[in-house]
Structure 1
């Protein structure tokens, strides 16, 4: 997915003043507010490193004099957000009804049926019981006292079984086969919405207990967890070919070429039905004038509307344990890291399994600078770079030689971007491809790369 665009300067805070007294007051106030917001953003951006260092040394600052930083979460680095998140989660738990604080959640499950057995044993429990209760897991007919290791194994087995196609809950993305999206046909399983609520609870419990959960979702699904809108670019991770057709429609004059209407055909196990995107959409043609609205609506239909019930059920369970406003300090990348953890990335293996195209080679100075920057990055920055280019921070067990793309195994690629060295790096996640401009110094390359991986998923400062 192309996740960054040419860098553009933020608009000037200077506003025009109307001759009307009433309008003048409103405009001046609005302009003043925007100016203050801009000053705050510029200040925190400029001093991002020192602010994070201060917060790291004294996390309580975020609950005191530095609390405004929470309102500009792109400035906070992930480790500081995570510390703040768990601090507030603990406070919410203490203030909650703690009748269940000493409750033990005893689970006796069959290893081959962990998902079903756990689902049934959780079904009669409230969100508060699950949030406060201490898990004590026993695998049927297996020895072992749960001092933490058995619970960890339970989370691992559960994360694998919930993607079992027999449950029809999730579908692997066409782009990489390792990230998942709710299956719009999950209704074939009569208990599917109860299962989605259970999955939301389990992921929420893993977060509350600070247990890593080996589950990776599409970027659009992480957006749904945060209550953020999706757009057509998110389609690339779900259906790369369909994304290409939408991009072509946007980039070209479709007059007398495209024969589409404001409707989509849905295949329900061999039964075709038409879904209107707008009232009577099947009789309204897509034209050059309305094509942008069509692309927006058809993307929304595929990524949101078609799985709205599944999303709602998941969020119902998830928000029983994790407050909605608290999780929203994260961006999509960071939600993945919160759930699944920071990967242990072997830079040598990464570099040895990278291909170069468009005139780049391993000896080019920009490539040397790139790997110098990657080695200088901390664990979080490397994970975000991997997410930026491949769509996920997950590294295959076999290493970077087994990275997945839309057509199977696809190594990490760096392509030369000839357009302008003022552009930010951009990425195509279904090809594991980074487009890297010809920057003129190491410092510029490193700064532009950090800007791209830190900001492009949040939508700040770009058009």
Structure 2
């Protein structure tokens, strides 16, 4: 069948016709024997090519109108990396042509605006710089019936996250799909993103606290030189006694007696002169009531901003209190807020934006001071947008009232002698922003931030990328009360069930209330005016009252256990009237019945 190829290349011994099969061993020899003068075999590929076909796509989440589609890279790359993928889709049936839905580098895509209970066919191809490769095998998926989901989660809702290197990415919690960019057809699940950040924040804080509590030694006092309590037992809780009539001062004194390690343990509160035992309800009440005391205008610690809905540090406080008193009190306020975050309690004071930003160590921008001084914010914005030379005459200084007199404060060293020009006005505006937020309250803010970071370190806040809006939610809890959500997880006891008339009347009455009435009712039952971010623990429970007065008695509550004791009323009207009276006239004191 022909001679052996000459390794010397000098003898022409192969007379076979083109196209004749060559044994494998002989093919290998031909390759090994090629010289620089040998002609290349026409059957050998000498360069890169488009990639091979990927595996068929898969669907991990499906609703009635959307499908989450993902795919793997091709196993054959032909020497070049994949630059992008192309996804086609069509409804099932030969009469429907394929249409391109996606072209990009990611390997996940959300098809949206689909029809319920319809089969859709997908195919995917990979492409490199030389072009597109072959299509994958087709894959067909059916959408769910209207109003249902087959995968357990909405394919369009993705959580925003940050990896260890600080790079932002997105992931779908149910399917565990990830993507560097938000997939086409998807949207950010802001609630899911916040819950993930909060979980990471709390895990880091609790891990740090647990390590600190296992260290040897009793722990340093919060304020060196001050006496510390010697009666804190070695228990899982730190117990303090406060007086309701002087809640702020008694709480301040109690905190001053604690060691640093004591604040890392959950608090338990005892109100002097009251018989209530704290199983969780009293401490919830304490966080809410103390936060309200902080913004009492008579104390001069915080004052409402221009929009009247948020609170900022009151500049008058420097005239009402000594410097030592200011430092101590505002550091206590910072610890109180940090303790609320650490122990997952809510407070009832909405802090203004620049204060939240400074707690997070963030840089302030001009728009951030709009809530503090709208007029100044507009004026500074006008300076940025218009030429000012020959129009305005300003220096890098600002007038501040001190004890009834206006003194000039330099925004930077030598600022009183430095004119503001078009060339340096951006620096001037930024310095004015920082002065507006801190100028007259710098000492108070430094103390407050120090106290907050005692329990919630700035490094942890930075690591978890908490935003000002998210920090506010950590403080306040959920703003809205969805009665249906509370009802969906409620429990029943003492002979009541979800079908009991009294239970159905209660939910109906609660839905008919104004938002303020709903908050008051919620606090009557749970001690909180808002739903906690983790839901109620213990669960919100309605139990049949065993009070001897029967249907003539009023509802009672056990806030430590989130329980409402509801008498067996005979009509919706009776329930509504008795519940309204109980909520309106309930004492804030915790006494034994």
Number of positions where the alignment pairs a residue of Structure 1 with one of Structure 2: 303
CA contact (8 A) 1:128 1:320 kept: no
Alignment CA distance shift 1:109-1:223 (3 Å): same
How many Å separate the matches in 2 of 1:142 and 1:240?
Answer: 46
How many Å separate the matches in 1 of 2:235 and 2:257?
Answer: 18
Tell me the residue number matched to 1:129.
Answer: 262
Counterpart check, 1:182 vs 2:313: yes
Tell me the residue number matched to 1:341.
Answer: 477
* Superposed displacement of residue 45, structure 1: 12
Higher helix share: 1
* Superposed displacement of residue 346, structure 1: 7.1
Instruction: Note the 1:20-419 alignment, pairs <5 A.
Output: 49-50=157-158, 56=173, 77-98=193-214, 102=235, 104-132=237-265, 134-174=266-306, 176-188=307-319, 189-190=321-322, 191-328=325-462, 329=464, 330-344=466-480, 397=516
Alignment CA distance shift 1:156-1:319 (3 Å): same
Instruction: State the Cα deviation string for residues 387-417 of structure 1 (Å, max 9, x = none).
Output: xxxxxxxx98489xxxxxxxxxxxxxxxxxx
Bigger relative contact order (CA 8 A; separation at least 6)? 1
How many Å separate the matches in 2 of 1:49 and 1:323?
Answer: 31
CA contact (8 A) 1:44 1:75 kept: no
How many Å separate the matches in 1 of 2:370 and 2:107?
Answer: 33
How many Å separate the matches in 1 of 2:191 and 2:479?
Answer: 22
CA contact (8 A) 2:396 2:428 kept: yes
Tell me the residue number matched to 1:404.
Answer: none
| TM-score, normalisation: structure 1 | 0.58
Tell me the residue number matched to 2:583.
Answer: none
CA contact (8 A) 2:313 2:444 kept: yes
Higher strand share: 2
Alignment CA distance shift 1:342-1:290 (3 Å): same
How many Å separate the matches in 1 of 2:373 and 2:109?
Answer: 39
* Superposed displacement of residue 311, structure 1: 2.0
Alignment CA distance shift 1:171-1:50 (3 Å): closer
How many Å separate the matches in 2 of 1:346 and 1:337?
Answer: 16
How many Å separate the matches in 2 of 1:152 and 1:182?
Answer: 24
Instruction: State the Cα deviation string for residues 124-149 of structure 1 (Å, max 9, x = none).
Output: 212321112x3222223233221211
* Superposed displacement of residue 243, structure 1: 0.9
* Superposed displacement of residue 106, structure 1: 2.7
Instruction: State the Cα deviation string for residues 74-123 of structure 1 (Å, max 9, x = none).
Output: 99700111112222222222222346872543322221310111001111
Alignment CA distance shift 1:195-1:284 (3 Å): same
CA contact (8 A) 1:216 1:340 kept: yes
* Superposed displacement of residue 345, structure 1: 5.6
Gaps of 5+ in 2: 1-104, 111-155, 161-169, 180-188, 219-232, 484-513, 519-593
How many Å separate the matches in 2 of 1:44 and 1:141?
Answer: 65
How many Å separate the matches in 2 of 1:141 and 1:247?
Answer: 55
Alignment CA distance shift 1:208-1:294 (3 Å): same
Q: 3-state DSSP class of the match of 1:237?
A: coil
Which structure has the larger Rg over C-alpha atoms?
2
CA contact (8 A) 2:302 2:314 kept: yes
* Superposed displacement of residue 209, structure 1: 1.1
